[in-house]
Amino acid sequence: MQTDSYKTIETPSEGIYKEKGSKFIAYAFPVTCEDEIKEQIEKLKKEYYDARHHCYAYMLGADKKDFRANDDGEPSSTAGKPILGQILSADLTNILIVVIRYFGGTKLGVSGLIHAYKTAAQDAIANAQIIEKTVNDIYDIYFDYLVMNDVMRIIKEEQPLQIDQDFNLNCRITLSIRQSEVDKIIERFTKIDSLKAEHIRTE
């Protein structure tokens, strides 16, 4: 069964790890799409333009099907994968972690790199506030003013989140409904004469 809740981080956080002169600075960001991910990576590359590597991993979606790990020039699977591993072990999604490395002159070897990237990512997660979010479907509910009381009664009883409203002769309310509640609530609405429920998006 597909879950309609997931864990993510509330706000950006940082972590750091130092080893033999090399410095690994980790940044974790809450993200919802690949455009946001690209934007954050580009910002960090500009800010830390003199760093040797900007390695990252991300996970998107409640089903955790959209993910990527990038070694950015480090030996294969020594950077992106350990970062992704920390995201998985913390059971997080809608998150990007970028670890920036300043080389200290001493090579760390494969196991040393894996440990460094893993520990820096772990530190960023440890410093983050982890929150649980629900997957919600956004609906526009269109109805005649005459049935307003019936509509408002359902909203009061079921308590979906009201995002927007427009009350004229023809009325519209925009609701955010938790996915596991959608069928029950929309079925109640559609029993009202002249009412139309339209799915807008999922978030």
User: Residue 46 pLDDT more than 90?
Assistant: yes
| Three state DSSP letters for 76-109 | CCCCHHHHHHHHHHCCECCEEEEEEEECCCCCCH
User: Residue 197 pLDDT more than 90?
Assistant: yes
3-class secondary-structure state, position 24: strand
Cβ atoms 93, 60 nearer than 8 A:
yes
**For 165-177, what is each residue's pLDDT tens digit?**
999 878 999 999 9
Cβ atoms 106, 23 nearer than 8 A:
no
Average pLDDT of the chain, as a whole number: 95
**pLDDT-derived band of residue 2, with 50, 70 and 90 as boundaries?**
low
Q: Percent of the chain beyond pLDDT 70?
A: 99
Rounded mean pLDDT, 28-52: 97
- Tokens read off for 139: 């609906």
Number of CB atoms found within 10 A of residue 192's CB:
17
Please state the domain extents for the chain.
5-132, 135-202
Supply the pLDDT for residue 1: 46
The domain defined by 5-132 carries CATH number 3.40.50.300: no
pTM more than 0.75? yes
- Tokens read off for 111: 């196991």
**For 137-163, what is each residue's pLDDT tens digit?**
999 999 999 999 999 999 999 999 999
Supply the pLDDT for residue 18: 97
User: Residue 3 pLDDT more than 80?
Assistant: no
Q: Which CATH architecture has domain 135-202?
A: 2-Layer Sandwich (3.30)
